[in-house]
Amino acid sequence: MQKHPLYDIFKEKDVLKEEETFVPLREEMIVRNISPSAHFNKMGCVILAGGQGTRLGIKGPKGCVELPLKEKKTLFQYLFEKVKGKGNDLPLAIMTSPLNHQATVDYLSQHHYFGLTNVSVFSQEMVAVCDDDGNLCGQERSPDGNGKALHHLYSSGIWEKWREQGVEIVQVIPVDNPLAIPFDGELLAVHESEKVELVLRCVGRKTPTESLGIVGQTKGRLTVREYSELTHKMEDLTFSLGNTGIFSCTMDFAKKVSEIDLPWHLAHKQGEGTWVWKFETFIFDLFPNAETFKVLFSDRKKYFAPIKTLSGPNSLESVTKTLMT
Protein backbone atom coordinates (compact mmCIF):
# COMPACT_ATOMS: atom_id res chain seq x y z
CA MET A 1 0.00 0.00 0.00
CA GLN A 2 1.25 3.48 -0.86
CA LYS A 3 1.44 6.05 1.91
CA HIS A 4 -0.28 9.41 1.43
CA PRO A 5 2.09 12.22 0.33
CA LEU A 6 1.02 14.09 3.48
CA TYR A 7 1.60 11.06 5.74
CA ASP A 8 3.87 12.98 8.13
CA ILE A 9 1.01 15.41 8.76
CA PHE A 10 -1.44 12.50 9.14
CA LYS A 11 0.73 10.94 11.89
CA GLU A 12 0.36 14.11 13.98
CA LYS A 13 -3.43 14.31 13.65
CA ASP A 14 -4.13 13.35 17.29
CA VAL A 15 -1.57 15.73 18.77
CA LEU A 16 -3.30 18.82 20.13
CA LYS A 17 -0.79 21.55 20.86
CA GLU A 18 -1.69 23.63 23.89
CA GLU A 19 -0.77 27.18 22.94
CA GLU A 20 -0.06 29.36 25.92
CA THR A 21 0.06 32.38 23.63
CA PHE A 22 -3.52 31.88 22.35
CA VAL A 23 -5.58 34.23 24.49
CA PRO A 24 -8.96 35.99 24.28
CA LEU A 25 -9.12 39.16 22.19
CA ARG A 26 -8.50 42.47 23.89
CA GLU A 27 -11.65 44.56 24.14
CA GLU A 28 -10.16 47.38 22.06
CA MET A 29 -10.01 45.01 19.08
CA ILE A 30 -13.80 44.49 19.15
CA VAL A 31 -16.29 46.80 17.41
CA ARG A 32 -19.75 46.46 18.94
CA ASN A 33 -21.73 49.08 17.05
CA ILE A 34 -21.22 50.92 13.78
CA SER A 35 -23.38 52.63 11.17
CA PRO A 36 -23.16 50.90 7.78
CA SER A 37 -21.48 52.43 4.76
CA ALA A 38 -23.25 52.44 1.39
CA HIS A 39 -20.12 52.67 -0.77
CA PHE A 40 -20.73 49.19 -2.19
CA ASN A 41 -18.88 49.98 -5.41
CA LYS A 42 -15.68 49.70 -3.36
CA MET A 43 -16.37 46.02 -2.63
CA GLY A 44 -16.19 42.66 -4.34
CA CYS A 45 -17.75 39.59 -2.74
CA VAL A 46 -16.70 35.92 -2.85
CA ILE A 47 -19.23 33.20 -1.99
CA LEU A 48 -17.61 29.95 -0.85
CA ALA A 49 -19.74 27.28 -2.53
CA GLY A 50 -17.56 24.23 -3.08
CA GLY A 51 -19.67 21.88 -0.95
CA GLN A 52 -22.21 19.29 -1.96
CA GLY A 53 -25.77 19.21 -0.61
CA THR A 54 -25.66 15.52 0.31
CA ARG A 55 -26.35 16.01 4.03
CA LEU A 56 -29.21 18.33 3.09
CA GLY A 57 -30.96 15.81 0.89
CA ILE A 58 -29.79 16.73 -2.62
CA LYS A 59 -27.08 15.38 -4.92
CA GLY A 60 -26.08 18.71 -6.41
CA PRO A 61 -24.21 21.79 -5.11
CA LYS A 62 -25.06 22.96 -1.62
CA GLY A 63 -25.96 26.34 -3.11
CA CYS A 64 -28.84 24.62 -4.92
CA VAL A 65 -30.45 23.50 -1.65
CA GLU A 66 -33.97 24.91 -1.60
CA LEU A 67 -35.20 26.96 1.34
CA PRO A 68 -38.81 25.90 2.01
CA LEU A 69 -40.09 29.44 2.40
CA LYS A 70 -43.51 30.64 1.19
CA GLU A 71 -41.73 31.42 -2.08
CA LYS A 72 -39.20 28.63 -2.47
CA LYS A 73 -35.68 29.81 -3.24
CA THR A 74 -32.30 28.13 -3.37
CA LEU A 75 -29.42 29.42 -1.29
CA PHE A 76 -27.87 30.81 -4.47
CA GLN A 77 -31.04 32.67 -5.39
CA TYR A 78 -31.51 33.98 -1.85
CA LEU A 79 -28.00 35.45 -1.73
CA PHE A 80 -27.98 36.67 -5.34
CA GLU A 81 -31.20 38.61 -4.76
CA LYS A 82 -29.59 40.30 -1.77
CA VAL A 83 -26.78 41.42 -4.06
CA LYS A 84 -29.20 42.62 -6.73
CA GLY A 85 -30.93 44.81 -4.16
CA LYS A 86 -27.71 46.83 -3.93
CA GLY A 87 -26.79 46.78 -7.62
CA ASN A 88 -26.93 44.25 -10.44
CA ASP A 89 -23.39 45.03 -11.63
CA LEU A 90 -21.53 44.65 -8.33
CA PRO A 91 -18.53 42.28 -8.66
CA LEU A 92 -19.41 38.83 -7.34
CA ALA A 93 -17.35 35.62 -7.50
CA ILE A 94 -18.36 32.05 -6.67
CA MET A 95 -15.80 29.47 -5.56
CA THR A 96 -16.90 25.97 -6.56
CA SER A 97 -15.09 22.63 -6.40
CA PRO A 98 -14.43 20.11 -9.19
CA LEU A 99 -17.32 18.09 -7.71
CA ASN A 100 -19.91 20.78 -8.43
CA HIS A 101 -18.31 23.33 -10.77
CA GLN A 102 -20.17 22.43 -13.96
CA ALA A 103 -23.46 21.89 -12.14
CA THR A 104 -23.11 25.31 -10.52
CA VAL A 105 -22.30 27.06 -13.80
CA ASP A 106 -25.20 25.29 -15.52
CA TYR A 107 -27.64 26.23 -12.74
CA LEU A 108 -26.62 29.89 -12.65
CA SER A 109 -26.63 30.15 -16.44
CA GLN A 110 -30.11 28.62 -16.69
CA HIS A 111 -31.37 31.25 -14.25
CA HIS A 112 -29.44 34.09 -15.96
CA TYR A 113 -27.49 34.67 -12.74
CA PHE A 114 -30.72 35.98 -11.21
CA GLY A 115 -30.25 39.30 -12.97
CA LEU A 116 -26.63 39.93 -11.95
CA THR A 117 -24.26 41.03 -14.71
CA ASN A 118 -20.81 40.86 -13.09
CA VAL A 119 -20.44 37.28 -11.83
CA SER A 120 -17.25 35.20 -12.05
CA VAL A 121 -16.89 31.52 -11.16
CA PHE A 122 -13.67 29.73 -10.20
CA SER A 123 -12.88 26.35 -8.66
CA GLN A 124 -10.85 25.12 -5.73
CA GLU A 125 -8.72 21.98 -6.11
CA MET A 126 -8.84 18.34 -4.99
CA VAL A 127 -6.46 16.36 -2.76
CA ALA A 128 -6.03 12.62 -2.18
CA VAL A 129 -7.62 10.97 0.87
CA CYS A 130 -6.21 8.18 3.05
CA ASP A 131 -7.36 5.31 5.28
CA ASP A 132 -6.80 4.88 9.02
CA ASP A 133 -3.25 3.67 8.37
CA GLY A 134 -2.31 6.65 6.23
CA ASN A 135 -2.48 4.71 2.96
CA LEU A 136 -3.88 6.21 -0.23
CA CYS A 137 -7.43 5.13 -1.02
CA GLY A 138 -6.91 4.39 -4.70
CA GLN A 139 -7.70 7.41 -6.85
CA GLU A 140 -10.27 8.85 -4.43
CA ARG A 141 -9.91 12.59 -3.90
CA SER A 142 -11.87 15.31 -2.10
CA PRO A 143 -12.00 19.13 -2.19
CA ASP A 144 -9.02 20.73 -0.45
CA GLY A 145 -10.96 23.16 1.75
CA ASN A 146 -11.56 26.89 1.42
CA GLY A 147 -8.08 28.03 2.42
CA LYS A 148 -6.93 28.88 -1.08
CA ALA A 149 -9.95 30.98 -2.03
CA LEU A 150 -7.92 34.20 -2.16
CA HIS A 151 -5.11 32.40 -3.99
CA HIS A 152 -7.53 31.31 -6.72
CA LEU A 153 -9.19 34.73 -6.80
CA TYR A 154 -5.78 36.21 -7.57
CA SER A 155 -4.38 33.52 -9.88
CA SER A 156 -7.59 33.33 -11.94
CA GLY A 157 -7.28 36.99 -12.96
CA ILE A 158 -10.45 38.01 -11.12
CA TRP A 159 -8.47 40.05 -8.59
CA GLU A 160 -6.89 42.07 -11.40
CA LYS A 161 -10.27 42.59 -13.08
CA TRP A 162 -11.75 43.79 -9.80
CA ARG A 163 -8.82 46.14 -9.22
CA GLU A 164 -9.48 47.71 -12.62
CA GLN A 165 -13.13 48.12 -11.61
CA GLY A 166 -12.12 50.07 -8.51
CA VAL A 167 -12.59 47.35 -5.89
CA GLU A 168 -10.75 48.10 -2.63
CA ILE A 169 -12.28 45.57 -0.24
CA VAL A 170 -12.94 41.83 -0.72
CA GLN A 171 -15.70 40.24 1.35
CA VAL A 172 -15.97 36.47 1.84
CA ILE A 173 -19.14 34.62 2.90
CA PRO A 174 -20.18 30.94 3.06
CA VAL A 175 -23.04 29.84 0.84
CA ASP A 176 -24.76 27.91 3.64
CA ASN A 177 -25.55 30.95 5.81
CA PRO A 178 -28.62 32.71 4.33
CA LEU A 179 -28.34 35.45 6.97
CA ALA A 180 -24.97 36.51 5.57
CA ILE A 181 -25.08 39.92 3.91
CA PRO A 182 -23.17 40.21 0.63
CA PHE A 183 -21.62 43.66 0.26
CA ASP A 184 -21.91 44.15 4.00
CA GLY A 185 -22.04 47.86 4.79
CA GLU A 186 -21.02 47.36 8.41
CA LEU A 187 -17.82 45.52 7.50
CA LEU A 188 -17.07 48.22 4.95
CA ALA A 189 -17.68 50.93 7.55
CA VAL A 190 -15.12 49.36 9.89
CA HIS A 191 -12.53 49.42 7.11
CA GLU A 192 -13.33 53.05 6.35
CA SER A 193 -13.23 54.22 9.96
CA GLU A 194 -10.43 52.05 11.36
CA LYS A 195 -8.19 51.71 8.27
CA VAL A 196 -7.53 48.01 8.99
CA GLU A 197 -6.52 45.17 6.66
CA LEU A 198 -9.10 42.68 7.89
CA VAL A 199 -12.49 42.67 9.64
CA LEU A 200 -14.09 39.47 10.96
CA ARG A 201 -17.76 39.21 11.93
CA CYS A 202 -18.13 37.21 15.15
CA VAL A 203 -20.92 36.02 17.43
CA GLY A 204 -21.02 34.99 21.06
CA ARG A 205 -20.43 31.29 21.75
CA LYS A 206 -23.41 29.52 23.31
CA THR A 207 -21.70 26.60 25.07
CA PRO A 208 -18.14 25.30 25.58
CA THR A 209 -18.86 22.40 23.20
CA GLU A 210 -20.61 24.31 20.41
CA SER A 211 -19.35 23.34 16.95
CA LEU A 212 -18.00 26.79 16.24
CA GLY A 213 -14.44 27.97 15.75
CA ILE A 214 -12.98 30.05 18.57
CA VAL A 215 -11.67 33.55 17.91
CA GLY A 216 -8.72 34.87 19.90
CA GLN A 217 -5.28 36.30 19.40
CA THR A 218 -1.75 34.91 19.31
CA LYS A 219 1.05 37.38 19.94
CA GLY A 220 -1.31 40.19 19.00
CA ARG A 221 -2.46 38.59 15.73
CA LEU A 222 -6.05 37.51 14.98
CA THR A 223 -6.33 33.73 15.31
CA VAL A 224 -9.13 31.18 14.91
CA ARG A 225 -9.04 27.65 16.30
CA GLU A 226 -11.21 25.00 14.62
CA TYR A 227 -13.79 23.51 17.01
CA SER A 228 -12.64 19.94 16.28
CA GLU A 229 -9.10 20.80 17.38
CA LEU A 230 -9.80 22.59 20.67
CA THR A 231 -7.80 21.88 23.79
CA HIS A 232 -9.37 21.86 27.24
CA LYS A 233 -8.27 25.45 27.86
CA MET A 234 -9.83 26.71 24.64
CA GLU A 235 -13.22 25.18 25.46
CA ASP A 236 -13.61 27.58 28.37
CA LEU A 237 -16.15 30.31 27.65
CA THR A 238 -13.60 32.95 28.62
CA PHE A 239 -12.98 32.55 24.89
CA SER A 240 -16.39 34.07 24.21
CA LEU A 241 -16.18 34.83 20.47
CA GLY A 242 -17.16 32.41 17.71
CA ASN A 243 -16.16 32.56 14.04
CA THR A 244 -18.99 33.10 11.53
CA GLY A 245 -16.76 32.67 8.48
CA ILE A 246 -17.84 36.13 7.29
CA PHE A 247 -14.96 38.54 6.84
CA SER A 248 -13.55 41.25 4.61
CA CYS A 249 -10.03 42.31 3.75
CA THR A 250 -8.26 44.86 1.62
CA MET A 251 -7.35 43.95 -1.94
CA ASP A 252 -3.69 44.39 -1.02
CA PHE A 253 -4.08 41.84 1.80
CA ALA A 254 -5.72 39.38 -0.60
CA LYS A 255 -2.75 39.72 -2.94
CA LYS A 256 -0.23 39.51 -0.08
CA VAL A 257 -1.56 36.18 1.21
CA SER A 258 -2.31 34.62 -2.18
CA GLU A 259 0.91 32.58 -2.20
CA ILE A 260 1.16 31.72 1.50
CA ASP A 261 1.35 28.01 2.38
CA LEU A 262 -1.37 26.99 4.82
CA PRO A 263 -1.40 24.15 7.37
CA TRP A 264 -3.46 21.05 6.62
CA HIS A 265 -6.38 20.03 8.84
CA LEU A 266 -7.68 16.46 8.88
CA ALA A 267 -11.29 15.31 9.15
CA HIS A 268 -12.69 11.77 9.34
CA LYS A 269 -15.58 11.71 6.87
CA GLN A 270 -17.67 9.34 4.78
CA GLY A 271 -15.92 8.63 1.50
CA GLU A 272 -16.90 6.45 -1.44
CA GLY A 273 -18.38 3.57 0.56
CA THR A 274 -16.11 3.81 3.60
CA TRP A 275 -14.78 6.31 6.12
CA VAL A 276 -11.61 8.12 5.07
CA TRP A 277 -9.35 10.91 6.24
CA LYS A 278 -9.71 14.11 4.25
CA PHE A 279 -7.16 16.93 4.12
CA GLU A 280 -8.36 20.53 4.07
CA THR A 281 -6.97 24.04 4.38
CA PHE A 282 -9.01 26.75 6.07
CA ILE A 283 -9.11 30.39 5.07
CA PHE A 284 -9.00 31.60 8.68
CA ASP A 285 -5.37 30.43 8.87
CA LEU A 286 -4.57 33.50 6.77
CA PHE A 287 -5.85 35.87 9.47
CA PRO A 288 -2.59 36.07 11.51
CA ASN A 289 -0.99 37.69 8.46
CA ALA A 290 -3.13 40.79 8.99
CA GLU A 291 -1.03 43.45 10.70
CA THR A 292 -4.16 45.43 11.54
CA PHE A 293 -7.63 44.03 12.21
CA LYS A 294 -10.91 44.45 14.03
CA VAL A 295 -13.63 42.02 15.05
CA LEU A 296 -17.26 43.06 14.59
CA PHE A 297 -19.39 41.56 17.36
CA SER A 298 -22.81 40.62 15.98
CA ASP A 299 -26.23 39.39 17.00
CA ARG A 300 -26.38 35.82 15.70
CA LYS A 301 -30.14 36.07 15.24
CA LYS A 302 -29.51 38.68 12.55
CA TYR A 303 -26.32 37.42 10.92
CA PHE A 304 -25.59 33.77 11.63
CA ALA A 305 -27.74 30.76 10.75
CA PRO A 306 -25.56 28.11 9.06
CA ILE A 307 -27.32 25.14 7.50
CA LYS A 308 -25.44 21.91 8.27
CA THR A 309 -28.13 19.21 8.57
CA LEU A 310 -31.77 18.51 7.68
CA SER A 311 -33.14 18.69 11.23
CA GLY A 312 -32.07 19.78 14.70
CA PRO A 313 -29.76 22.72 15.53
CA ASN A 314 -28.15 24.48 12.54
CA SER A 315 -30.54 22.63 10.24
CA LEU A 316 -32.55 23.46 7.15
CA GLU A 317 -35.63 23.15 9.35
CA SER A 318 -34.45 25.48 12.13
CA VAL A 319 -32.92 28.08 9.80
CA THR A 320 -36.10 28.23 7.72
CA LYS A 321 -38.05 29.02 10.91
CA THR A 322 -35.56 31.80 11.65
CA LEU A 323 -35.97 33.30 8.18
CA MET A 324 -39.76 33.26 8.47
CA THR A 325 -39.91 35.07 11.83
How far the first Cα of the chain sits from its last, in Å, is 54
3-state DSSP assignment of residue 263: coil
Q: What is the pLDDT of residue 220?
A: 95
Please report which confidence band the pLDDT of residue 229 belongs to, taking 50, 70 and 90 as the band edges: confident
Please report which confidence band the pLDDT of residue 11 belongs to, taking 50, 70 and 90 as the band edges: confident
Topology (CATH) of 40-324: Spore Coat Polysaccharide Biosynthesis Protein SpsA; Chain A (3.90.550)
Q: Are 206 and 302 in contact (CB under 8 A)?
A: no
Higher pLDDT, 314 or 12: 314
Domain boundaries, the chain: 40-324
pTM to 2 decimal places = 0.94
Helices 75-84 + 101-110 axis angle, to 10? 50
Q: Are 69 and 81 in contact (CB under 8 A)?
A: no
Mean pLDDT of 82-90: 98
Q: What is the pLDDT of residue 12?
A: 77
Phi, psi of 296 (to 5 degrees): -100, 110
